Amino acid sequence: MSSCQKFGYVLMGAILVMAVACSSATPAPATMAGYWEDNANNVTEIEYQNDQYVAVTNYYTLASSSQNALVSSSYENGVLTWKYCPPAKPCITMQTVSFNGDTLDVTWTNDNGESGQMTLTRSEKLIGRGNS
């Protein structure tokens, strides 16, 4: 076998190895985009738009098609803040603290001056799953 043939085989082998490595499925990066349910059965939809996260809707899942009024959404320094107003309840402002795949830790305050922390869990869009 000539040195040209050996070189050709080595080169083809290297190309094959690179092709296999490049075609291997890589997991998608974790994203905050999706539906997030809190412990009071409210689901916030978060989207990734123009290189930032934005809260776009908020629903109360135990009532049929009950959409809470989303008042504001902002994203600054990697922190998403949004405010929504459930019917006949004080408005709530949520602020992300940490994100870990299927959990989103937030702090919250309401218009009554109460505050706390909670963990939202990733969910499917759960509008109207309970009572009508």
Full residue range of the structural domain in which residue 87 is found: 34-123
pLDDT one-digit tens code per residue, 63-93: 766 778 899 999 999 999 999 998 888 999 9
Interatomic CA distance for residues 31 and 34, integer angstroms: 8
Tally the domains of the chain: 1
pLDDT by residue, tens only, the chain of 132 residues: 777 666 666 656 656 555 544 544 444 457 899 999 998 888 999 999 999 999 998 888 777 667 788 999 999 999 999 999 988 889 999 999 999 989 999 999 999 999 999 999 998 765 544 433
Report if residue 113 sits inside a domain.
Answer: yes
Report if residue 129 sits inside a domain.
Answer: no
Q: What is the pLDDT of residue 6?
A: 66
Report if residue 132 sits inside a domain.
Answer: no
**Beta carbons within 10 angstroms of residue 66's beta carbon:** 19
Report if residue 5 sits inside a domain.
Answer: no
The domain that contains 88 carries what CATH number? 2.40.128.30
Strand order in the sheet with 66-67: 66-67, 52-60, 42-49, 34-37, 115-123, 103-110, 92-100, 79-85, 69-76
Q: What pTM was computed for the model?
A: 0.71
